Copies of this chain bind each other. A is one copy, B any other.
Amino acid sequence: MGQQPREDIANTVRILVATDCHLGYMEKDEIRRHDSFEAFEEICSIAEQKEVDFVLLGGDLFHENKPSRSTLVKAIEILRRHCLNDRPVQFQVVSDQAVNFQNKFGHVNYEDPHFNVGLPVFSIHGNHDDPAGVDNLSAVDILSACNLVNYFGKMVLGGSGVGEITVYPILIRKGSTAVALYGLGNIRDERLNRMFQTPHAVQWMRPEAQEECQVSDWFNILVLHQNRVKTNPKNAINEHFLPRFLDFVVWGHEHECLIDPQEVPGMGFHLTQPGSSVATSLIEGESKPKHVLLLEIKENQYRPTKIPLTSVRPFEYTEIILKDEADIDPDDQNSILEHLDKVVRNLIERSSKKTVNRSELKLPLVRIKVDYSGFMTINPQRFGQKYVGKVANPQDILIFSKSSKKSKAEAKIDDFERLRPEELNQQNIEALVAENNLKMEIIPVNDLDVALHNFVNKDDRLAFYSCVQYNLQETRHKIAKDSDTAKFEEEDIILKVGESLEERLKERSNHSKDAPQSTSNAASFEDIRSKTAAGVGTAISFSDDEDTTQISDTKSATRGRKWSSAASRSSRGALESDKSKTSTRGRGRGRGRGRGRGANNLKQTTLDASLGFRQSQRLILVLITIH
C-alpha cells in the first residue's frame, strides 16, 4: 500500500481472503504430504507481505475432524511464525467479543496482553473441521485456545424442530470504515436449507447505524461454508436465501476457484468463491489456477485483487472419449495404451511449461477422465507405473466413465441389481441402509449417512439417537402440518411461498415483538425483527426476507460497488473501474448481468465430502461386525 495516501490506509480495512486449506490432506502420501501446508504457508506469507489487517478463512482449515498430532503441530508452527510479531494491529473489534468468540478467554486474540499478535486470523469451521463430541469442539478450537486463530460463527442450534440460530456479527472499525463480519460455520446443508425456509429460524443481528458522522455505515460481509449449487436443491444453499442487507459474501466449501467477485442478480451483494488452496479431488474444477483474494474495504466500497498461489502443485486435467479418437483400434489394447500415453505426456509437458520459471519444480498431478464406452477398461494402477517419478499421482491418472445417460427407470434397475442376495457380501452399508430405508420410510438415507459419519469420525455417541429424534420430530411436525387447514406440502414451500408465506411472516413478526428477544449482550445490537418485516415483492421471491428488513437506505449510491484507485497495482488482479448504477433503494435489483460463471458453478460437486462418507461407512461396517 506504499502508493496509497496515508489517510487512505488508515481508513481502509485490508483483508486476505482464503478458504479450504485442508491442512493434513494426504499427510501420509510420500509425495503430496506437504502440499496443504505449503499452500497455507504461502497464504500466510502473502498476508504478511501485503500487510493486511487480518486473514479471513472460510472453513475446512483442517482436513480431518480429529487432525493428527503432526498436522496440529505444523498448523500451530505456521501460524505462530506468521501471526506473532510486533506489527501493530490497526483496527478495533467493537462488538461484544465474548459473544463473537466462544472460547474460555472471550476476546479477540490480538488484545491478549500475553501474546504479540501482529496478524490476526479469523476463521469459521467447515464441514471437515466442524464441532463435535460432548463439548462440541472443533479442531479450530485448539488453535483458538492457543490464541492463534479467532474462531467465530459456531452456532448453537436451539429451539425445537429444525432449530434456530442467531448470527451475531463481529463489528470492526478502522478509521472511517466500519465492517460487520458475519460468520456461519458449516451446518448440514439439508438442515440449513430447511432453516432458511422456516420463519425466524435464522436471525441476523444487525448493528445500529453509525452515529458518528465521520464513520460510514456498516459494510456487511458474510462468510459461510456450504454446498453452493446442486442438482438437488435440498442439499445446498441458494445464494438467494441470504439476506439482502449483505454487501459481500465469501463462499467456502466449493473448491473451484471463482475468486473474482460476482454480483448476485437481484440480491444486491457481490460474492467470491475463493476455492481450496489444495486440490482434494482430481476433478476439472480443482485444476483451475488457485488464488486468494486481497479485499480492501474503504467505507462502503471495496476493491478486490486476486493473488495467485505459486506454491500449489500443478494439476492438469483433460477428458477424452475413446471412440472419438481416430488412432485407436478397439481390438488393439496397445493402441489405447499408446494413445493414453501420448495424452499423459502432453499433460506433463503442458504442466512443465507453466512452471518453467519456478525454482522448485513439483511433480504435477495428472488426471484423464476416459469415456470408455465400447471399449474395455485398463488397469489404472498398472498403467500408472511408468509415470512414477514423473507425476505426483501415478496410481490414479486414469478414471473411467461411461457416457450413457441413463433414464431414472434404468438407474432403479441398477440399484435393484446391486442388492441381489448373492452380491450381498460386496454391499456397502449405504446400499444396506438404502434398502432398509425403503421399508422403514422414516429415516432418510442422508440423515443416517451423517449419523454414521458423526458416530465414527466425530466421536458423537448420540449421533443415532439425535438422528432418530430429529426425524421423529420432523415426522410429527409434518403430520401435524398435513392435518392443518392450509395443508401445504413441505416440498412445495419454495414454489408456494409467494402470497401465503408473506402473510404468515407478518403475522409471526408481530408476535415476535412481544416474545422475549434472543439474548444479546451487545447493547448496540438491534434485533432486526423489531423493524417492520413487511416483505417487499421482488422479481424472485424467497423466504430469506422473513427476518431482515428492507433497510431504509441511507447509504450512498456507491454501496456495494468497487472503487477505482489512483494507485497502480502490481498483482495480476484486475483493477475494476466504477460501474454505473441507477437505483438507490432497490440496489442491485434487476442487475442480472453475471459473467457467465453461474453456469459453470453447476458443475461443482463435493466429491471429497462424499468420499469421506464412503470411508466412514466402511468403518461402520467394521463396528457392526463386532456388536
User: Residue of B at shortest CB range from A132?
Assistant: B69
Q: Contacts A80-B145, A142-B76 given: A69-B114 contact, CB under 8 Å?
A: no
Binds B, one of A52-60, A133-141, A393-401, A475-483: A133-141
A606 close to B (CB within 8 Å): no
Contacts of A622 in B (CB 8 A): 622, 625-626
A104 close to B (CB within 8 Å): yes
Q: Contacts A69-B139, A137-B70 given: A145-B77 contact, CB under 8 Å?
A: yes
Q: Could you tell me the distance between the alpha carbons of A425 and B84 in the complex, rounded to whole angstroms?
A: 57
Please tell me if the beta carbons of B76 and A146 are within 8 angstroms of each other in the complex.
yes
Q: Could you tell me the distance between the alpha carbons of A28 and B141 in the complex, rounded to whole angstroms?
A: 19
Q: Could you tell me the distance between the alpha carbons of A135 and B135 in the complex, rounded to whole angstroms?
A: 29
Contacts of A80 in B (CB 8 A): 105, 114, 145-147
Contacts of A138 in B (CB 8 A): 69
Chain A contributes a number of interface residues (CB within 8 A of B) equal to 35
A68 close to B (CB within 8 Å): yes
Q: What is the minimal beta-carbon distance from A385 to any residue of chain B, in angstroms?
A: 23
Q: Could you tell me the distance between the alpha carbons of A69 and B72 in the complex, rounded to whole angstroms?
A: 11
Contact string against B for A residues 98-123, beta-carbon threshold 8 Å, 1 for contact and 0 otherwise: 00000111000000011110000000
Q: What is the minimal beta-carbon distance from A188 to any residue of chain B, in angstroms?
A: 20
Residue among B77, B133, B147 making CB contact with A68, cutoff 8 Å = B133
Please tell me if the beta carbons of B141 and A69 are within 8 angstroms of each other in the complex.
yes
Please tell me if the beta carbons of A73 and B115 are within 8 angstroms of each other in the complex.
no
Contact string against B for A residues 80-103, beta-carbon threshold 8 Å, 1 for contact and 0 otherwise: 110011000000000000000001
Q: Could you tell me the distance between the alpha carbons of A103 and B369 in the complex, rounded to whole angstroms?
A: 43
Q: What is the minimal beta-carbon distance from A52 to any residue of chain B, in angstroms?
A: 19
Contacts of A81 in B (CB 8 A): 104
Please tell me if the beta carbons of B459 and A133 are within 8 angstroms of each other in the complex.
no
Please tell me if the beta carbons of A104 and B77 are within 8 angstroms of each other in the complex.
yes
Residue among B66, B69, B134, B142 making CB contact with A73, cutoff 8 Å = B142
Please tell me if the beta carbons of A68 and B459 are within 8 angstroms of each other in the complex.
yes
Contacts of A69 in B (CB 8 A): 66, 133, 135, 137-139, 141-142
User: Residue of B at shortest CB range from A118?
Assistant: B114
Q: Could you tell me the distance between the alpha carbons of A272 and B84 in the complex, rounded to whole angstroms?
A: 39
Instruction: Name the residue among A113, A133, A146, A459 with the largest chain B CB count within 10 angstroms.
Output: A146
Contact string against B for A residues 457-500, beta-carbon threshold 8 Å, 1 for contact and 0 otherwise: 00100000000000000000000000000000000000000000
Q: What is the minimal beta-carbon distance from A232 to any residue of chain B, in angstroms?
A: 32
**Interface of chain A residues 13 through 47 with chain B (CB within 8 A):** 28
User: Residue of B at shortest CB range from A77?
Assistant: B104
Contacts of A28 in B (CB 8 A): 134
Residue among B114, B134, B135, B145 making CB contact with A116, cutoff 8 Å = B114
Q: Could you tell me the distance between the alpha carbons of A86 and B146 in the complex, rounded to whole angstroms?
A: 18
Contacts of A104 in B (CB 8 A): 77, 81
Contacts of A145 in B (CB 8 A): 72-73, 76-77, 80
**Interface of chain A residues 117 through 174 with chain B (CB within 8 A):** 133-135, 137-139, 141-142, 145-147
Contacts of A115 in B (CB 8 A): 84, 114-116
Contacts of A116 in B (CB 8 A): 113-115
**Interface of chain A residues 568 through 627 with chain B (CB within 8 A):** 622, 625-626
User: Residue of B at shortest CB range from A28?
Assistant: B134
Q: What is the minimal beta-carbon distance from A495 to any residue of chain B, in angstroms?
A: 42
Please tell me if the beta carbons of B625 and A84 are within 8 angstroms of each other in the complex.
no
Contact string against B for A residues 387-410, beta-carbon threshold 8 Å, 1 for contact and 0 otherwise: 000000000000000000000000
Q: Could you tell me the distance between the alpha carbons of A28 and B73 in the complex, rounded to whole angstroms?
A: 25
Q: Could you tell me the distance between the alpha carbons of A105 and B134 in the complex, rounded to whole angstroms?
A: 34
Please tell me if the beta carbons of A73 and B141 are within 8 angstroms of each other in the complex.
yes
Contacts of A68 in B (CB 8 A): 66, 133, 459
Q: Could you tell me the distance between the alpha carbons of A137 and B146 in the complex, rounded to whole angstroms?
A: 18
Q: Could you tell me the distance between the alpha carbons of A139 and B68 in the complex, rounded to whole angstroms?
A: 10
Q: What is the minimal beta-carbon distance from A296 to any residue of chain B, in angstroms?
A: 27
Q: What is the minimal beta-carbon distance from A336 to any residue of chain B, in angstroms?
A: 34
Q: What is the minimal beta-carbon distance from A146 to any residue of chain B, in angstroms?
A: 5
Residues of A whose CB lies within 8 Å of any CB of B are 28, 66, 68-70, 72-73, 76-77, 80-81, 84-85, 103-105, 113-116, 133-135, 137-139, 141-142, 145-147, 459, 622, 625-626
Per CB-CB distance, the 10 closest pairs between chain A and chain B, nearest first, are A84-B114, A114-B116, A76-B145, A69-B137, A70-B135, A146-B146, A73-B145, A77-B104, A72-B142, A73-B141
A-B residue pairs in contact (CB < 8 Å), sample of 19: A28-B134, A66-B66, A66-B69, A68-B459, A69-B137, A69-B138, A69-B142, A73-B135, A73-B137, A73-B145, A76-B142, A80-B146, A80-B147, A81-B104, A113-B116, A146-B146, A622-B625, A622-B626, A625-B625
- Other A-B pairs, 7, CB within 8 Å; known A73-B137, A77-B105: A69-B141, A70-B137, A73-B145, A76-B142, A77-B104, A80-B146, A85-B114
